[in-house]
Amino acid sequence: MTLRELLATQPIAAAAIDALVAANDFPLVDPTGVTFVYRGEADKVLLRCFIHGLPTAQELQRIADTDLWLLRIDLPVNSRIEYKFELVRGEHGEWITDPFNPVKAADPFGANSVCQGYGYERPEWTLRDAASRQGALDEVHVSSAALDSARRLIVYLPARFRRTRRYPLLLVHDGEDYLRFADIKIVLDNLIHRLEIPPMIVCLSQSPDRLTEYAGHEAHARFLTEEVLASMRARYPLIDEPAARGLMGASFGGVASLYTAWRYPGFYDRLLLQSGSFAFSDIGTHRRGPVFDPVVAFVNEFRGRPGKPASRMYLSCGIYESLIYENRSLVPLLNEQGIQVRFEEVRDGHNWQNWRDRLRTGLSWLFPGPLWMVYE
């Protein structure tokens, strides 16, 4: 049974709702939009999702004399959004994932339901491939004078790693989150196996205080460049030249990556920046709260004297993010410095699966493997 058939019947019987639920996947997706469906008793049901420009809460409408609630929104093709339902009963509100939708996305704060809009498909190279040789994860501990603490690093070593070879090095902010929520190990295994990127060593770092250390923080930049790099050089055979060194990060991790390369010009030649929190203020004050004060101070200074922090940079951002303006505005500034820039904006939000889905383009453009060297 379709939703239209259900609504055409009067009165609507519970058995007819049961048939609708059994016959469909939810939410209901079509080429021009999506219909969210909830079934259950409540005083009010709201859709909670974060699409820049739309209300963060929209009410579902209850079908008279039933426990069925509906909301349709327009959604362009190839969109992907994350959401929850808020159930209001009396004075109590509860946020839940969609009981009818098995597709979830995890992040450090829990899980959201995922609406895969018309035309969107999860990239197959983000799924484990039995044919891909598996890389290994190593653990390294660094005692940092710059940060006055000991830090753990997870290091990805490619399949068939050999001490007699030399490898590019990529330093990744929030690396353990990329492992948990963006399947970066699976992606690296697949892209290396398919010759789309070269075998490479990837150092995955994690900060216990990222909102401070990633916000244009000199000690953190020194930690990466003078301490982590020294540790990596001592342990692994690296190609020791800027074109084989890169930094990567999302959100505040994108700020930290850009700041570190800017603070150490000529040292990193490849940057992969995803939904960077590049807040700035051309005039007056910014409106993002005090945690952004050091970010704005750095980005304002960078916009005034950008230099050339890297020769090749990949940026991506979702058009459903409030940061899309800041990321778009950075591109012409970088181009003016003679930097090769690839910018990708997509119909997605500020989340780990958005960043996962961009890894193939970003990594293979910055570090092309034998396949791209031959065919691109």
Q: 176 and 206 in contact (C-beta within 8 Å)? A: yes
Q: Which two tokens stand for residue 145?
A: 């004078």
Q: Which CATH architecture fits 3-116?
A: Sandwich (2.60)
Distance CA 347, CA 324 (A): 11
Domain boundaries in the chain? 3-116, 124-375
Query: Phi first, then psi: what are they for 80, rounded to 5°?
Result: -145, 125
How is residue 84 written in tokens?
A: 């929850």
User: In angstroms, how far is CA 132 from the centroid of its own chain?
Assistant: 23
Three-state SS across 221-234? HHHHHHHHHHHHHH
369's tokens: 């493997």
Which residues are paired to 216 by β-bridges?
none
C-beta separation of 151 from 205 below 8 A:
yes
Closest by CA to 205, choosing from 182, 187, 179, is: 179
Whether the Cβ atoms of residue 168 and residue 246 lie closer than 8 Å to each other: yes
Q: Which residues in 262-272 are b (16+ Cβ under 10 Å) and which e?
A: bbbeebbbbbb
Task: Tell me the pLDDT tens digit for each residue of 211-237.
Answer: 999 999 999 999 999 999 999 999 999
CA–CA gap between residue 216 and residue 296 (Å, rounded): 9
C-beta of residue 328 within 8 angstroms of C-beta of residue 301: no
pLDDT of residue 256: 98
pTM for this one? 0.94
Structure token pair of residue 137: 């994860």
Supply the DSSP string of 331-373, one letter for each residue: HHHHHHTT-EEEEEEES--SSHHHHHHTHHHHHHHHS--HHHH
The CATH code for residues 124-375 is: 3.40.50.1820
Alpha helices (runs of H) in 161-203, residue ranges in sequence order: 175-182, 184-193
Is beta strand 201-205 parallel, antiparallel or unpaired with respect to 245-250? unpaired
> Do the domains spanning 3-116 and 124-375 agree at the CATH topology level?
no
pLDDT tens per residue, the chain (376 residues)?
789 888 888 888 899 999 999 999 999 999 999 999 999 999 999 999 988 888 999 999 999 999 999 999 999 999 999 999 999 999 999 999 999 999 999 999 999 999 999 999 999 999 999 999 999 999 999 999 999 999 999 999 999 999 999 999 999 999 999 999 999 999 999 999 999 999 999 999 999 999 999 999 999 999 999 999 999 999 999 999 999 999 999 999 999 999 999 999 999 999 999 999 999 997 778 888 899 999 999 999 999 999 999 999 999 999 999 999 999 999 999 999 999 999 999 999 999 999 999 999 999 999 999 875 544 4
Q: How far apart are the first and last CA of the chain?
A: 48
* Contacts for 149 with CB less than 8 Å, ≥ 6 apart: none
DSSP β-bridge partners for residue 142: 151
The C-alpha atoms of residue 21 and residue 12 are separated, in whole angstroms, by 14
Q: How many residues belong to the chain?
A: 376
